[in-house]
Amino acid sequence: MESLVVARRLLSLLAFSAGSALCLTALTGPSVAADVTGQLRVAITVDGEPSDALLELFAVDPEATPLPEQLWYDTDSAGMRSITLEPGRYWLKASAFEQASQWAGQTPDRASSQVLTVTEGGATDVAVDLADGSTISGTVADRSAARTFVDVWVPDASYPAGRQRVGVGAVVADDGSFEVYDVPTASVLVHTWSADGRESWYGGPDAASAEPVDVSAPQPVDGIVLDGTGLSGAIEGTLTTTRGLPVGHGYVQVLTEVDRGRWRSTTGYQSATADEQGHFRLPLPEGTYRLLVQAHDRVAPEWYADADSVLAARDLVVAPGHNAAVDAALTPRRIQTLRDPVVSGFRRTVRVGDRLNVGNAFLADDTARYTCRWFRDDRLIRRDTERCVYTAQPADRGHRLSAKLRVTHRFFRSIRAETAPTPVVRRRR
Q: What is the total count of domains within the chain?
A: 4
CB atoms closer than 10 angstroms to residue 51: 19
CB atoms closer than 10 angstroms to residue 103: 23
Question: Where do the DSSP E strands lie in 300-426?
Answer: 302-303, 316-318, 323-330, 333-334, 343-344, 355-358, 369-376, 379-384, 389-391, 401-409, 412-418
Among the candidates 92, 114, 130, a domain finishes at 130
Helix, strand, coil percent content, the chain, rounded in steps of 5: 10, 45, 45
Instruction: Looking at the structure, tell me whether residues 241 and 164 fall in a common domain.
Output: no
Instruction: Looking at the structure, tell me whether residues 213 and 238 fall in a common domain.
Output: no
Residue 23 resides in a domain: no
Residue 318 resides in a domain: yes
Residue 4 resides in a domain: no
Instruction: Looking at the structure, tell me whether residues 68 and 157 fall in a common domain.
Output: no
Question: What pLDDT score was predicted for residue 394?
Answer: 93
Among the candidates 99, 130, 161, a domain finishes at 130
d(CA 190, CA 226): 9
CA 388 to chain centroid: 38
Residue 273 resides in a domain: yes
Q: Which residues pair with 357 in a beta bridge?
A: 344, 389
Residue 208 resides in a domain: yes
Please state the length of the chain: 429
Element spanning 332, H or E: none
Instruction: Looking at the structure, tell me whether residues 64 and 143 fall in a common domain.
Output: no
Residues of the domain holding 182 = 134-226
d(CA 70, CA 142): 42
Question: What pLDDT score was predicted for residue 230?
Answer: 64
Task: List the chain pLDDT tens, one digit each, 429 residues.
Answer: 444 443 444 334 334 344 433 333 333 334 344 458 999 999 999 999 999 999 999 999 887 887 666 688 999 999 999 999 999 999 999 999 889 999 999 999 999 999 999 999 999 999 999 988 899 998 888 776 678 888 899 999 998 888 888 866 788 898 889 999 999 999 999 988 887 777 888 888 778 888 999 998 667 788 788 776 665 778 898 888 777 778 888 888 888 887 777 777 765 557 888 898 889 988 887 788 988 888 765 556 777 777 777 778 888 888 776 788 888 776 655 555 555 678 888 888 899 999 998 865 454 455 567 788 999 998 999 988 777 889 999 999 999 999 998 877 655 667 788 888 999 999 887
Question: What pLDDT score was predicted for residue 294?
Answer: 81
Question: What pLDDT score was predicted for residue 42?
Answer: 97
114: domain CATH number? 2.60.40.1120
Question: What pLDDT score was predicted for residue 310?
Answer: 79
Instruction: Looking at the structure, tell me whether residues 112 and 82 fall in a common domain.
Output: yes
177: domain CATH number? 2.60.40
Instruction: Looking at the structure, tell me whether residues 50 and 88 fall in a common domain.
Output: yes
239: domain CATH number? 2.60.40.180
Distances (CA, A) of 330 to 238, 247, 296, 316, 400: 10, 8, 11, 17, 42
Residue 9 resides in a domain: no
In the sheet that holds 234-241, the strands lie side by side as: 279-283, 234-241, 323-330
Question: Where do the DSSP E strands lie in 36-131?
Answer: 38-46, 49-50, 54-59, 72-74, 80-85, 88-95, 102-103, 116-118, 123-130
Backbone angles phi, psi at 278, to 5 degrees: 85, 5
Among the candidates 176, 208, 226, a domain finishes at 226
